[in-house]
Structure 1
């Protein structure tokens, strides 16, 4: 699978950003990048996004709840960082 990179110059001759956004709306895959230092919450953010969008299977959620009780750092709450 090759990646196609978009530059500002490649958008200029067409209707630009509108065309680009129209293409992006039809995509079914979202690539997400997080940056930050240790303990900034990167894994927690990704885990929370997966949870909020219902992308965690029931068996994964059960394992996460079990692991959160054993290894988690959020007290009684689910530790979403353990998903990643």
Structure 2
């Protein structure tokens, strides 16, 4: 019984450490992304946020992070974009 309680305590501590570590990494990534120079682009037929993020990729940044940056910068609540829409995106490196 004592070993089970100790095991649960260790697992709980590891989960908390992982959570806080992920939070710190996310905050640092967000800070770095917020400093990127940006530009405005017009959405074309067939575009997606993923494709736009790939086209305006920055070395050292994952496409998923750039998609999140574009969503945040443009106050998008969904990944739906339409042709003709203007989006703020990071400048390609």
Please indicate the TM-score interval, normalised by the length of the shorter structure. Answer: under 0.3
Higher helix share: 2
Asked which structure has the greater RCO (Cα within 8 Å, sep 6+), the reply is 2
Q: What's the TM-score once normalised by structure 1's chain length?
A: 0.26
TM-score of the two chains, using structure 2 as the length reference: 0.25
